[in-house]
Structure 1
Amino acid sequence: MEQQSLWEATANERKERQALQGEQHCDVVVIGGGFSGLSTAYHLQRKNCQTIILEKESVGFGASGRNGGEVLTGYIGSMELHAKKKGLEAARQMWQLSLDSIDLIEHIINTHQISCAFRRNGDFHAAYKPSHLDGMKREQEVMERDFDYKKIKVVEKQDLHSELNTPFYHGGRVDESSAHFHPLNYALGLAEAVEEMGGTIYEQSEALSYRKESGKVVVNTNKGRVIAKELVIVTNAYSGDFQKTIKKTIVPVESIMIATEPLSEELCQDLIKHDRAVSDTKNLLYYFRLTADHRLAFGGSGRSSSKRDQENLFNNLRAGMITVFPQLKNAQVDYRWGGKVGFTQEMLPYMGQLEDGSYYAFGFAGHGAAMSSMAGKLIAKNILHEGGGDNPLEKARLRPIPFHSQHAKAVGMMKFYMKFRDRIS
């Protein structure tokens, strides 16, 4: 399913990076060259803490370079639900963290002039059922009353045309704080910023094993090793056997995307009126947005075991796009690709330290485009002893998900995810 993505096809020029050979030393070695790993190194290098990133493939290869580029506020589930589970004060901290995450990305992009088509036009969450719109109205009241957040606007079905030209939904809500961007170009720009500050990135350098030795950590690859004071593991849904506890705690779920041929400006304006990032409330949701080169990028869930299944999934996704936007029935699909989204049992990101002292962050559950850069910053603060206990997502201990195999975990998590969405809608 890993066909070339639209983002790879339209990426800025890539810098060629060497694979690790021989022995290297640094303060912090980071496993994973996605948003979280790059951000960790970025914030450490700003404080003159020497970092090395080991990336199995190339910068942005995983979810960071394949996602929909929707930089959204919040998390899976309403903040009302999170307040009931974690307490109102913790939920307020979580919400503020999600807002700060988008501000952080915007700041990094502006500071380093990263060319990634960043647009902060908000997002539109479309109601698949009338009852879902009722839930959005309740959530708007809760956000204003309990979170002092007044940037959410509910759109009734009769006014849906002011946001989307589609017969498929029953209204929705706008959150003005969200954004969208070219995710791979952001990753590439962040990587260059890390290197400009003295960090080192090795590509085609899979971390195979590690051990603690004389107060240091030794990470082995097939052609070399890195000796460092601290270890950060941020491989998310692409975690392999490098760290068994993390592998048993994260569930990778497949997501697929298609992108149309370039559309006319008139048609783009007709489809999504204000160039917002869009997602809906279906159990197996759709998410979509316009790109800088006037395509519609359209995504959804997908899991397959054969090429025939993959073909069916992409065909079904295109049929879904046409159901939402009948205007696109004759539009050619130029790109289609897939990747993995990382989930935890709580449907919230996990950040913290393992018993051996290694730092981690994973399980962004479709909100990684926003949250993972902040995760890197928070990890860096902890390493530098600047954390201050101000992270509401920090986990004291990781517990493996009680499923018996990777396949069972994924299937079980998808069923749980659908029930979870039903409960919060």
Structure 2
Amino acid sequence: MSFVGESNYWLDTAGPAPTDEGRAMPAKVDVAVVGAGYTGLAAALSLARAGRSVAVFDAEAVGFGASSRNGGMVGPGLHKLGIGGLVRTYGEERAIAILGEGLKALDHLEGFVAEEGIDCDLAMTGRFRGARTAAQYEASGRECDWLQAKIGLPTHHVSRADQRSEIGSDFYRGGVVYERDGGVNPRKLLLGLAARAAEAGVQIIAPCAVTGLQRDGSVHTVQTARGAVEAREVVLATNGYSDARSAALSRRVVPLETGACAVGPLSPEQMAELTPKGRMHGETGRVFMWYRPTPDGRSFIFGGRFGAGGMGLEARRRAFRRAICRVFPQLETAPISHVWSGQIAYTADHSPHLGQHDDVWMAGGYCGSGVTRSLYFGSKLARRMLGQADADTAFDTLPFKPVPLRPLAPLAAGMLVRWYQMQDNRELRARE
């Protein structure tokens, strides 16, 4: 979803999406991929390099969705249940495996960017996560120690007295630093991935909406806006943009709208004050804000659910300004140069998934941590389709069930977010 007047910072810092002008529609392919974002293109690249004929379709331009709209923050992508929730749900051994998979995904991303020579401004600067309350600081510290002991994630505590060494704000009650986090220009990563896929022989056909899928025996008929294509296998990689046209995945995820804005340009002195070490940033809380310096070090990008929900552009700007000034009052008059929005996908168990369901392959449900996971899951999905070794992940045995009462799920999610915001605000008032 997008709104009139929106502008996306990443689109202004990278080239246009590749087009398929003049390309003839294939009559048959080995694999049809629906969705030309990170997941779909990563799967297509691996499949094509293994000798499969692959066509990727998207209703919009290549990378129209979350792959060009996210914050470009990368890391092991922990888990929305938190460590305690994971251990209670799956037991400690399984929780360690799930969290350890995030480190494997991050290693994959770093290796892929280096091996493919993709210029996407990847910088592993670490992430400071501020604690909104003293109790959250203590809980974050315990999680920090657990992660370091159990999966070897390098982290350290930052007291409130020392937090100015990490952030130009007195809002937090201390925090933690995750050393294995970093940032990319997500649009540049997307375009580099698309270029490698095209070089491998992938036919990227976009914009060209898939309007229906049918299966007759071993053959899928993929109905598109430009005609039908036969495929032996189908991959759904539409994630937060899934709908009735990709029903098998749409039934299993809940799309949520998020917002982002860019503040700047700022002076070098302002940037150095806001983030002395150039880190990525986040915070505790149920409805939280993430933020980061842009790769060129001239602006700051802020994002979260607070700037979303169908409000108009000016209302979104005001919501961003309030959230930003809560942490950085010195940015009260700083220019907001870009405002944009996008869709992410949540799942009923707060976990991402990949596998074969309803006769099609799919991967998604990244729950807002998709940059690292999507490339990894796309590659793993391709390996599984090819019957190759090293296709397993710690998520494989988690059932990917349809969301109960799926048509009502976005409304319920919106109500839950508002309830969480009320709880967050109550905790903030209580700390004063």
TM-score (norm 1): 0.92
Q: How does 1:234-273 map to 2 (within 5 A)?
A: 234-273=237-276
Query: Could you say which residue in structure 1 is the equivalent of 2:156?
Result: 153
Distance in 2 between the 1:305 and 1:84 partners? Answer: 35
Q: How does 1:311-350 map to 2 (within 5 A)?
A: 311-350=314-353
1:217–1:110 Cα change, 3 Å:
same
CA apart distance, 1:340: 1.1
Distance in 1 between the 2:419 and 2:49 partners? Answer: 41
Query: Could you say which residue in structure 1 is the equivalent of 2:176?
Result: 173
Amino acid corresponding to residue 380 of structure 1 in structure 2: A
Pick aligned residue for 2:121 from 108, 112, 117: 117
Q: Deviations over 1:57-78 (max 9, x none)?
A: 1111101110111112212232
Q: Deviations over 1:293-345 (max 9, x none)?
A: 311001121443453xx422321212221221122222111100011111111
Query: Could you say which residue in structure 2 is the equivalent of 1:215?
Result: 218
Matched position secondary structure for 2:120: coil
The alignment status of 1:35 with 2:38, answered yes or no, reads: yes
Pick aligned residue for 1:360 from 359, 362, 381: 362
> Please, which moves more after superposition, 18-27 or 219-228?
18-27
Query: Could you say which residue in structure 1 is the equivalent of 2:429?
Result: none
Query: Could you say which residue in structure 1 is the equivalent of 2:381?
Result: 379
Amino acid corresponding to residue 102 of structure 2 in structure 1: S
Q: Deviations over 1:231-250 (max 9, x none)?
A: 11010110011133422321
The alignment status of 1:304 with 2:309, answered yes or no, reads: yes
Distance in 2 between the 1:412 and 1:251 partners? Answer: 14
Q: Deviations over 1:82-139 (max 9, x none)?
A: 1331122322222222112122222222222222111111111111111111111111
Matched position secondary structure for 1:319: helix
1:385–1:298 Cα change, 3 Å:
same
Amino acid corresponding to residue 378 of structure 1 in structure 2: K
CA apart distance, 1:273: 1.6
CA apart distance, 1:416: 8.2
Distance in 2 between the 1:184 and 1:404 partners? Answer: 31
2:253, 2:402 within 8 Å by CA — same for their partners in 1?
no
| Unmatched tracts of structure 1, length 5 or more | none
Q: How does 1:6-155 map to 2 (within 5 A)?
A: 6-18=9-21, 22-73=25-76, 74-147=78-151, 149-155=152-158
1:178–1:140 Cα change, 3 Å:
same
> Please, which moves more after superposition, 381-390 or 368-377?
381-390
Distance in 1 between the 2:332 and 2:25 partners? Answer: 55
Amino acid corresponding to residue 116 of structure 2 in structure 1: H
Pick aligned residue for 2:405 from 402, 406, 409: 402
1:389–1:418 Cα change, 3 Å:
farther
1:19–1:254 Cα change, 3 Å:
farther
Q: CA RMSD in A?
A: 2.3
Count of aligned pairs:
418
Q: Deviations over 1:369-406 (max 9, x none)?
A: 11111110111111011266732223444222335535
Distance in 1 between the 2:416 and 2:75 partners? Answer: 22
Distance in 2 between the 1:409 and 1:19 partners? Answer: 44
Amino acid corresponding to residue 235 of structure 1 in structure 2: T
Distance in 2 between the 1:94 and 1:156 partners? Answer: 29
Distance in 2 between the 1:387 and 1:397 partners? Answer: 23
Q: How does 1:282-293 map to 2 (within 5 A)?
A: 282-293=285-296
Identity %: 27
Distance in 2 between the 1:247 and 1:297 partners? Answer: 29
| Unmatched tracts of structure 2, length 5 or more | 426-432
1:303–1:270 Cα change, 3 Å:
closer
1:412–1:329 Cα change, 3 Å:
closer
Query: Could you say which residue in structure 2 is the equivalent of 1:203?
Result: 206
1:64, 1:187 within 8 Å by CA — same for their partners in 2?
yes
TM-score (norm 2): 0.90
Distance in 1 between the 2:283 and 2:365 partners? Answer: 20
Distance in 1 between the 2:422 and 2:83 partners? Answer: 17
